[in-house]
Structure 1
Amino acid sequence: MYYEPGVTDHGLPHDPFKACVIPRPIGWISTKSPSGQANLAPYSQFNNLTFDPPYVMFASNQTPQNSRKDTVVNIEATGHFAWNLATYPLRHAVNITAEQVPYGVDEFDRAGLTKEQANAIDVPMVKESPVKFECVYHSTIRLPGNPPMGTVDVIIGRVVGVHIDDGALDERGCLDVARTEPIARCGYYQYAVVRETFEMVIPGMSGDVLKGLEGSARGNRELEERRRDAKLESEVEEGGAAVGK
């Protein structure tokens, strides 16, 4: 089959687009309003962008009333937000926080979750979640959308703090996916849970490239230091050669 979104009809009983881009990590985003009210909501169009420094993004559609989501309003007003890993044991709480409720309603309380204060920013996090990011707002990209959805807000934030429960780490010091059981959004009303992984290393890749694929900020800094040292050494050698002439 073939169709052009917004131009020709796909002819199916349900729209397949979101079901084609799977699985999608869930941005379980917590914020605080300027007046101090906590907010928590999941966004299925979420991902990391880079690792040194680390940035994350999520996209938020407008409400059916053509207003921007509480999460976006809070982030742009305060400059901070937190990401909390959505896990299988917390799946029902994630679902409850997805419900659209009036501005100012505390989703932590509605979902029976415990607030944990972030270290570097003034935002509550989900204490029960095994992995959390503290984020500083960077920018918003506004994409045009068809009515009644309207503008789509793409929020970008820089990660300034990372929390990982010690019990989520294996004996190698790696985050154990099977221990955290993250859930991901699929198509329609479907979700997936990750309990099994496999490894593949790209053949012929050097150690520096592999560190980049790992997302090693330390490896990236070490590479830059070697490049600076090599450049400095080359300049010294060139200067000595010029003096010798």
Structure 2
Amino acid sequence: MLFDTAQLNPQEIYRLLVGGVTPRPIAWISTLSKTGVANIAPYSFFNVASCNPPILWYSQVNPRDGGDKDTLVNLLDTKECVVHIVNAQLLEKMNQTCASLPAEQSEFDFAQLEQCTSHSVKPPSVRGTLVRYECTLREVVRFSSLPMGGSAALLDVKTIFVDDAVWLDGFINQAQLNSVGKMGKDFYSLTNDLVELSRP
């Protein structure tokens, strides 16, 4: 099959992109609204943008009715967030935070997530996550304001939390981290098998 994107609608393009660009790391991002409501939502368009300085990026796909999701609204208002790395133990809790809730309702409460205080930013962290990055907003790049268009947020990493249980000889122990990736449709990938190859 060969697909010409000019001949496809946005939903068809979305299915081809998320079904092939896999597995994708998941940024489980907590923010605070300007009225103090704690929001948390997962984003699988996410990765490292720079190590010096340390910058992460994530992208939202605009809702079908247009506009910004609560995470980006809050980031633009308060300029702070926490990016959690999802592991298998928290997969079902993370999935619950995909629910479309009104802005005034906290996903922390809806998913019954236990909070803990973050070190350098105001949004709360999820207790039990093994790796998380406390960030401030650097910049938002707008690609399209249309439904299913995108906006990318660049995040300056201020503090990195790594649980002692996954810290081994100066590295994050990948087997112990047991991180989860996003696949197409409603599928996720688990870190069941690791293959180590030395670079040539």
Matched with 2:181 is: 184
The yes-or-no answer on 1:158 pairing with 2:172 is: no
Residues in 2 aligned to 1:129 and 1:26: alpha-carbon distance in whole angstroms: 13
- Cα distance in 1, alignment partners of residues 150 and 8 from structure 2: 22
Q: 1:23 maps to what in 2?
A: 23
Structure 2 equivalent of residue 4 of structure 1:
4
Contact 1:177 1:195 in 2 (8 A): no
**Retained in 2: the 8 A contact 1:28–1:43?**
yes
The residue identity in structure 2 corresponding to 1:40 is I
Q: CA deviation at 1:80?
A: 0.7
Task: Give the secondary structure class of the aligned counterpart of 1:15.
Answer: helix
Residue aligning to 1:126: 126
Provide TM-score, normalisation by structure 1: 0.75
Aligned partner of 2:184: which letter?
G
Please say which structure displays the higher CA radius of gyration: 1
Moved more, 174-183 or 192-201: 192-201
Structure-2 separation of matches of 1:90 and 1:8: 36
Q: CA deviation at 1:173?
A: 3.2
Counterpart residue number, 2:193? 196
Residues 29, 8 of structure 1: CA spacing in aligned structure 2 closer, same or farther, 3 A cutoff? Answer: closer
Q: TM-score, normalised by structure 2?
A: 0.91
Unpaired runs of 5+ residues, structure 1, are 204-245
Relative to its length, the structure with more helix (as a share) is 1
Structure 2 Cα separation of the partners of residues 50 and 197 of structure 1: 25
Q: Distance in 2 between matches of 1:17 and 1:157?
A: 24
RMSD: 1.8
Percent identity (aligned)? 27
State the AA in 2 paired with 1:179: Q
Equivalent in the alignment of 2:147: 148
Query: Match of 2:44?
Result: 44
User: What does the per-residue CA deviation read over 1:32-86, in whole Å, with 9 as the maximum and x for residues that have no partner?
Assistant: 0111110000001011111122110111122232221000000011111110111
Higher strand share goes to which structure? 2
Unaligned runs of 5+ in 2: none
